[in-house]
Amino acid sequence: MDQPIAGTQLLDAAEELFYARGIQAVGMDEVRAAAGISLKRLYQLHPSKEQLVEAFLERRDLRWRGSLAAHVDTVTDPAGRILAVFDWMRAWFEEPGFRGCAWINAHGELGATSPGVARQARRHKQAFRDYLGGLVADAGLPPSTADHLVLLAEGAMAVGGISHTSTPAVQAKDAARVLIAAASTT
């Protein structure tokens, strides 16, 4: 099997299994079987489970941020672009199989024992914060507004993952609207 195809199949299988059931609950043999590759090939591509987890998180990060940006880019009003983040989150929360934020989940499982997983989670969260910071700057709001918006979004992700409802994204959007209005007057 071609390396790029095998690598893609492996990451697809790992992401599906790890996200749905948790990283520690899924063994490498199960990932191998789902990917349709040999155990030897799996370990050639990713010599450890931790490296496979890091690779899946890195790839998911690129897709996640790309999807978010594509949605936000459909809005032209600067404040509306910020609120569009929460609309995107609501749609994400409504996807079949939504189980919360993969980075929060992975960090909760392995962050204390896996520096690589902790690093991936921090990178993802920093990239999200930087993205919101750019939207806040484009809207002419005080820079600290981005930190407040991040807390709203991250809280909605945690609660949405636990409650299996999109209501936290709707509530966070309402709070973001109030925050934007207040920050606009300062």
Give residue-wise pLDDT tens across range 82-92.
999 999 999 99
Residue 1 in this model has a pLDDT that exceeds 50: no
CB atoms within 10 A of CB 43: 15
| Residue corresponding to tokens 């936290």 | 168
Residue 59 in this model has a pLDDT that exceeds 80: yes
Mean pLDDT, the chain, integer: 94
Span 57-80, average pLDDT: 97
- Comparing 167 with 4, which gets the higher pLDDT? 167
Closest CA to 153 of 73, 93, 71, 105: 93
Both tokens of 141, joined, read 């709001």
pLDDT per residue over 109-144, tens digit each?
998 999 999 999 999 999 999 999 999 999 999 999
Span 21-40, average pLDDT: 94
pLDDT of residue 119: 95
Q: Please, which pLDDT band fits residue 7 given cuts at 50, 70 and 90?
A: confident
Set out the domains of the chain in order of their start, with CATH numbers.
Answer: 1-47 (1.10.10.60), 56-184 (1.10.357.10)
Distance, CA of 41 to chain centre: 28
Span 162-166, average pLDDT: 95
Q: What residues have CB less than 8 Å from 52, skipping those under 6 apart?
A: 10, 11, 14, 28, 31, 42, 45, 46
Q: What residues have CB less than 8 Å from 148, skipping those under 6 apart?
A: 179
Q: What residues have CB less than 8 Å from 9, skipping those under 6 apart?
A: 1, 35, 36, 37
Both tokens of 161, joined, read 């993952």
Q: What residues have CB less than 8 Å from 1, skipping those under 6 apart?
A: 9, 37, 41
Instruction: Give pTM, 2 decimals.
Output: 0.93
pLDDT of residue 5: 76
Residue 4 in this model has a pLDDT that exceeds 80: no
